[in-house]
Amino acid sequence: MSGNRAQEPILRLVDVTKRFGGLTAVNKVNLDIYEGDLHFLIGPNGAGKSTVFKTIVGYHKPDSGQVIYKGQDISNMEPYLRARLGFSIKFQTPSVYPDLTVGQNMTVALNRRRSGITNPEQEIADRLHMVGLHGVEDMLASRISHGQRQWLEIALALAVDVEILLLDEPNAGMTPDETFRTADIIRELNRRGMTIIVIAHDMEFVRALEPEITVLHLGKVFTEGRLSEIERNKEVQQIYLGKK
């Protein structure tokens, strides 16, 4: 879904550059996200997608360029302060505690929130319901399916007060059915007004949601548009096939 373009972008990356030693992982990336957007970041492995996410939430500070939230330069703001602004991320690497139950994992995540928790059981039940995990609260996280664990990751990210949700490969390792279910979850969250940015690898996931797309390649914005335009782009096909 496209957000409200009549307003200023809620999030703006301006020439964001991040280097690791001699490697420029993110190279002058510009990105405008509007309130209510559903935006996908795609591109081959090593394109810099996860690094862009980490500069948005503050795990990396850009070497140059700015991260702007509602007109404010937050490039050097600490991650916990950005979390208070409403940034919430599901990283590419798992963050679920396998030896805790689904409900206990949620309690840990909920405890990160600063205030406004009046009925924790209800809040946890609501979040689990949003991702289709109601009824498995008492199961050990190690015992639920891979797909369910990925949905739990999303529920954990939803435990805080979210304004901008960032999901790094939420359908990694999923079956096609689970991927469609994940698309349904994301569509519903976006329909409720949440601004969502998703990193994805496969086009089937993108197809299920028809979002705005930014293609990254070698740390740079390669092209932007809707899926129909992206798919017709021969150069995009080539970078996905590793020919460039």
Stretch that binds ligand ADP, among 19-27, 28-36, 121-129, 204-212 (CB under 6 A): 19-27
Residue with tokens 């891979």: 146
CB of 68 to Mg ion, least distance (A): 23
User: What radius of gyration do the chain's Cα atoms show?
Assistant: 18
CB of 229 to ligand ADP, least distance (A): 21
Question: What contacts 210, CB < 8 A, 6 or more positions away?
Answer: 226, 227
- For residue 218, which phi and psi values (nearest 5 degrees)? 50, 40
Nearest 5°: CA angle at 218, between 217 and 221?
45
CB of 91 to ligand ADP, least distance (A): 11
In the list 48, 65, 147, 211, the residue contacting ligand ADP (rule: CB under 6 A) is 48
In the list 16, 47, 67, 109, the residue contacting ligand ADP (rule: CB under 6 A) is 47
Q: From residue 78 to residue 97, what is the string marking binding to Mg ion with x (rule CB under 5 A)?
A: --------------x-----
Determine the angle formed by the axes of helices 102-110 and 120-130, rounding to 10 degrees: 110
6, two tokens: 């009549």
In the list 10, 25, 160, 206, the residue contacting ligand ADP (rule: CB under 6 A) is 25
Q: Which does 25 bind (CB under 5 to 8 A by kind): ligand ADP, Mg ion, none?
A: ligand ADP
Question: What contacts 23, CB < 8 A, 6 or more positions away?
Answer: none
199, two tokens: 């990193």
How many whole angstroms separate alpha carbon 1 and alpha carbon 4?
A: 10
* Element of type H or E holding 177: helix 176-191
Residue 79 lies near ligand ADP (rule: CB under 6 A): no
In the list 31, 51, 75, 106, the residue contacting ligand ADP (rule: CB under 6 A) is 51
Residue 50 lies near Mg ion (rule: CB under 5 A): yes
Q: Which does 46 bind (CB under 5 to 8 A by kind): ligand ADP, Mg ion, none?
A: ligand ADP
69, two tokens: 């939230």
Residue 55 lies near Mg ion (rule: CB under 5 A): no
164, two tokens: 């901008």
Q: Which residues bind Mg ion (CB under 5 A)?
A: 49-50, 92
Q: Which residues bind ligand ADP (CB under 6 A)?
A: 20, 23, 25, 43, 45-51
